[in-house]
Amino acid sequence: MSTDETGESAPSTLALRSVVADIAGTINPKAAKPDAAMVDNAKAIASTEPAAAFRLAQQALLQGRAADARDVFREIVRHHPQTAVAHIGLSDALAATGQVTEASRSARCGAVLAPGDARAWSALCRIQSSGDGREDTEQSGSGGPLTPARRALVIGPDQPGLHNQLGRACWKAAQPEAAMAAARSGLALAPDDPGLNLLLASCLTALERSAEALPHFEKAKADRAAWWEIFNNLGMTHLNLGDVHAAADNYNRLARLKYGRPRNDDPAFDGLPDIPERPVPRHCTGHRLHHDAEQFARLRAKGVLPDDLKDMADAYEEVRKRVAPEDDPDAGFTLSGPAYELLAPTWNRLVHVAGTGWGDRPALNPELDWNDIDATFMAGTPKQGFIDDLLIPEALEALRTFCFDTTMWFDVKPLGYLGAYMEDGFADPLLCRIATELRERMPLALAAHPLQKMWAYKYEQGMHGINPHADFANVNVNFWITDNAANLDPDTGGLIVYPKPAPDSWTFAEYNHAPREEIYRFLGSSKDEALRVPHRTNRAVLFDSRLFHETDVIRFAPGYENRRINITMLYGNGP
């Protein structure tokens, strides 16, 4: 049998090339999925009709039947081992079934057989760019995905997708300038390509050129599959630009992708999924079940739950009763089996949002001497202090209702508290107003430091708070909204701020997650000089983010509305 210049057998090469040339126009992912008999038939004809077998294997791969595609490609390779495109197809199928090492070998075979075919090098780059391909990359000594990405682009410089691939390989290699150059080269060929626009926007954001990134993020929205990444990055970009409201809009959209749309959702979010796009986390604790039971009981009593969810409070109590103490360790457990099925309609779902509808009205107390508060904070050594009567009464009450009634408390903490974050739905207009107004009222302390993070924690009575730690920001603002009558010990329940900052030599993991004893050893005698701020409703504590701080002793009365709730806003990106 004759061979062509690549060493492939001519008949199979010509047949397979004809298939690959028009594959995009002829393969229909929505067509009937090949059954076992069709797959067996494709394997049987792999020796005599490789093009037909290849087409069926490719269709199976596009339809998500990677194992079937792999088996057919293997038969094609067995009968036509010199055919590069068969090795490339097998590589894609092996990668899709998690057989990374074998996938890498097949891609290399394709590259050896057809060194001038960009697809082989592109397949090798995809494999080595994946986290699972890291070990294979190290063993092969190939230098990672950059080398095959560059080889592919040299062969196909007119293909925007190869510019995108090289750019993403550079991005993973922590080379944002090189990634940006690749993205711009690709956009010169395809200005509206969503993937290239997303890559360029991400690079510009990383290089602190957020304003330039915005139009590219908007173009990237054409790729529906990338909305998770886009909404998250747009949220961070708008925060960097100081537009908290725009950031909140994108984070609220992300929350609906993650947790589904609320039953009472705003029409502004039409087009987003009713149910979560991906499986929700099932990590659970007894205190989470207790909280959700109380919350759904409250929502039922207020008459805001649809009929099919009115029994959810009872369901949470039922599951809670089934959890034996030995099955609920400090680290929690995985909610599974019948227990999960019982809670599935609401578990980690954004079922109800009690939006405040707050507009441009002031939320901070206008009676406070904000100029004096700002100047006093900046003159402090260290910078720390507290503010009483932070919010006007209407804002405080609206914020309480939002925190009581919105089902956004998804982050389960083992020490006895739950977290809600901007990207999970903690992004109400009232919160945005407070965050923005604080910068306006305290320009010396905050004007140069845009909001970077915002969250709330809600605590189970009788459990512990947060261990001593420091944060990577410039200024922390913490304030409490639970009624004073809930605190059974008026001298505690708040925050302890130590006068000693984390040393510059410590990493984030060290000063944010180190064991309590290690932090105390570092603090030494300064531990006795701490600022202890007791809990008061509507009281805010401000301090240099690098100062170590921890939750004080918590003794709050039973009852859902008596749970301690603190709201945290971090301003600036470190010292």
Cis peptide before 50 (omega within 30 of 0): no
Angle 348-298-418 (CA atoms, 0-180°, nearest 5)?
Answer: 40
- What are the CA-CA distances from residue 374 to residues 92, 112, 440, 447, 523 (Å)? 60, 67, 11, 11, 27
Distance CA 399, CA 358 (A): 10
Per-residue confidence (pLDDT) for residue 416, from 0 to 100: 87
pTM attached to this predicted model:
0.85
State the chain's mean pLDDT as an integer: 90
Mean pLDDT within 378-395: 97
Q: Which residues lie across from 501 on neighbouring strands?
A: 547
Mean pLDDT within 283-295: 95
Q: Of 181, 291, 245, whose CA–CA distance to 565 is shortest?
A: 291
Per-residue confidence (pLDDT) for residue 158, from 0 to 100: 95
Per-residue confidence (pLDDT) for residue 414, from 0 to 100: 82
Mean pLDDT within 93-120: 92
Q: Of 128, 142, 189, 132, whose CA–CA distance to 164 is shortest?
A: 189
Helix, strand, coil share (%) of the chain residues, nearest 5:
55, 10, 35
Number of H helices, E strands in the chain: 25, 12
2 has pLDDT over 90: no
Per-residue confidence (pLDDT) for residue 335, from 0 to 100: 94
Q: What is the percent of the chain where pLDDT is above 90?
A: 77
pLDDT bucket at 550, cuts 50 / 70 / 90: very high
12 has pLDDT over 70: no
165 has pLDDT over 50: yes
Mean pLDDT within 558-564: 97
Weakest mean pLDDT among 23-37, 346-360, 421-435: 23-37
Name which residue leads in pLDDT, 254 or 510. 254
138 has pLDDT over 50: no
Q: Of 103, 140, 138, 97, whose CA–CA distance to 124 is shortest?
A: 103
Per-residue confidence (pLDDT) for residue 74, from 0 to 100: 94
pLDDT bucket at 43, cuts 50 / 70 / 90: confident
Mean pLDDT within 8-30: 45
pLDDT bucket at 25, cuts 50 / 70 / 90: very low
pLDDT bucket at 462, cuts 50 / 70 / 90: confident
Q: Of 440, 443, 386, 437, whose CA–CA distance to 566 is shortest?
A: 386
pLDDT digits (tens, 9 = 90+) for 477-526: 999 999 999 999 999 999 999 999 999 899 998 999 889 899 999 999 99
DSSP assignment of 107-168: HHHHHHH-TT-HHHHHHHHHHHHSGGGHHHHHHHT--STHHHHHHHHHH-TT-HHHHHHHHH
Distance CA 10, CA 17 (A): 10
Per-residue confidence (pLDDT) for residue 517, from 0 to 100: 93
